[in-house]
Amino acid sequence: MPVIMELFRDFPSYLSLLSKKITEIDVQQLQAARELIVNCRETGGKIICAGNGGSASIASHTAVDLTKAAKVRAITFNEANLVTCFANDFGYENWLAKALESYADKGDCAILISSSGKSKNILNAAKYAKENGLSVITLSGFAANNPLRSAGDINLWVDSQGYNIIEMAHHVWLSAVIDAIVGRVEYPA
């Protein structure tokens, strides 16, 4: 029981740290992400969201909210058959770039999420996207000099060493961008 009580005493510190990391973002970057996504919508493009593990879940949630709430066409590549087929045929480090090759059009925008900023499949996707006329928004954390942090047009970075802190900040930032596109914070389902 003492361990559980210790956790409860730490919740205020944890939530304070999480809040601090979320609010450390330069809000001009969030505004720039909003404008890039709105411009993509207005020019007929779509948003392609991708990540690994928990970041794949954030990508899925973001794609659905962009489509439903913000009226921005958005997709993700989280279908097991697509991932395993492309990973088997092209290597895991290349599957996402190959999926972009198959599904992306010039003028689309890729939102690429990697907590470490070192995921080879995400980095290769960013390279492919930039070389083929897509706009790129990256989200990363951990090391300030991680390679993904400089791979996009807009690069959102969390100064943290904790996966959950990084992933929660990424999710909050993307949700904030969606709400900024919608034009209000509270709205019914």
Compute the distance between CA of residue 38 and CA of residue 112 in angstroms, rounded to an integer.
17
Q: Is residue 187 part of a domain?
A: no
Q: Please count the structural domains in the chain.
A: 1
Residue ranges, the chain, pLDDT below 50: 1-5, 7
Task: Tell me, yes or no, whether 122 lies in a domain.
Answer: yes
- The CATH number of whichever domain residue 63 belongs to comes to 3.40.50.10490
Q: Say how far apart CA 21 and CA 115 lie, in whole Å.
A: 14
The pLDDT of residue 8 is 54
In a domain, 189, yes or no: no
Model's pTM, two decimal places?
A: 0.94
Per-residue confidence (pLDDT) for residue 9, from 0 to 100: 67
Q: Answer yes or no: is 139 within a domain.
A: yes
Q: What is the pLDDT of residue 13?
A: 87
Other CB atoms within 10 Å distance of the CB of residue 49: 26
Q: Please tell me the predicted confidence (pLDDT) of residue 1.
A: 39
Q: What pLDDT does residue 5 have? A: 44
Q: Is 100 domain-assigned?
A: yes
In a domain, 51, yes or no: yes
Domain that holds residue 52: 2-182
Q: Is residue 188 part of a domain?
A: no
In a domain, 62, yes or no: yes
